[in-house]
Amino acid sequence: MNIRKKLLVGFVVMTLLVSLVGLTALYVNSNMDSHLEEMSDTYWKGTKSAMDFRTNVYAIHGFVMCYINDEDEALEEIAEFKEVVEVDLAEMKASGLFTSAVLDGIEADTSSFYGIIDGIVVAKEAQDMVELDEKVEDLDAQVVVFTASVLTVVNDAKGEMDHHIMSLETQLEESKVLLLVAMVSSVVFGLIFTAWLSNNIASPIRMMTKAADEISSGNKEVEFLNIQRSDEIGDLGESFDRMINSVKLAMEMMKE
């Protein structure tokens, strides 16, 4: 391999290493940004649907109180808000923020909540004030527990999300260390290759220079260099050996 090819190979290898490090850095940053954006979107959608759900449950509770106070049209509002609550539940599921166990618990509480409301309607229509008062107390207690549980799962989801973010940040720091190691390795490789190539070229040239100095000083015992290479330096070494041989013959002839 001639010197030009060696230089070209070195340049290509260095370019590939630098490109690999750069592409790795871009991939890591892009991947982390994508994960963080996805997690933020999941958390925002999940918490929004959960808080909407909580607000609409409070609204239903308010309309139930209106119904108890002989506002029969409130039943229509209750029915409409039940549909809205179902949409909120569907959005909570779609967000991916909450586990199946959490969603199953919320749905079970929702069914109990609706069951109490149905009991209130039956008691009111039957004019059973004792049963109505008991159902209202159950409803008030259920709303408190219900909405508190929603806040709890939201806070738990936030804690889990924070944990994932910390994990991603840790991975990002580890990736930065790996990238730094890769960059340092690339530089070290470049220095080693440069030193090797420099010595590969300079060493035979130093041999020729030393041999030329000895010949110029009249030393006819200069040994042949015998540089066994297939590049330009090898060709130069062969020419130099032929020159040494010619000089030796000339010096012998002059001596005779």
Select the more confidently predicted residue: 82 or 182: 82
Q: Report residue 5's pLDDT band, with 50, 70 and 90 as the boundaries.
A: low
pLDDT in tens, 155-193: 777 777 777 777 777 777 777 777 777 777 777 777 777
What are 120-141's pLDDT values in tens digits?
888 888 888 888 889 888 888 8
Alpha carbon separation from 76 to 63, 102, 133 (Å, rounded): 9, 29, 22
Give tens-digit pLDDT for 59-77.
Answer: 998 999 898 888 878 888 9
> pLDDT by residue (tens digit) across 11-35?
666 677 666 766 666 666 666 667 6
Task: Name the CATH topology of 3-180.
Answer: Four Helix Bundle (Hemerythrin (Met), subunit A) (1.20.120)
pLDDT band, very low/low/confident/very high, at 84 (cuts 50, 70, 90): very high
**pLDDT given for residue 23 in this prediction:** 67
* 191 closest CA partner among 3, 5, 17: 17
Percent of the chain whose predicted confidence (pLDDT) is above 90: 4
- Give which of 45, 169, 21, 35 is closest to 95, Cα–Cα: 45
* 0.75 surpassed by pTM: no
String of DSSP letters for 109-153:
HHHHHHHHHHHHHHHHHTT-HHHHHHHHHHHHHHHHHHHHHHHHH
Is residue 93 within 8 A of residue 85, CB to CB? The reply is no
Q: For 188-255, which CATH superfamily applies?
A: HAMP domain in histidine kinase (1.10.8.500)
- Average pLDDT over all residues of the chain: 79
pLDDT band at 212 (very low <50, low <70, confident <90, very high): confident
Residues in the chain, how many?
Answer: 256
CA pair distance 140, 146, nearest whole angstrom: 10
Domain ranges of the chain: 3-180, 188-255
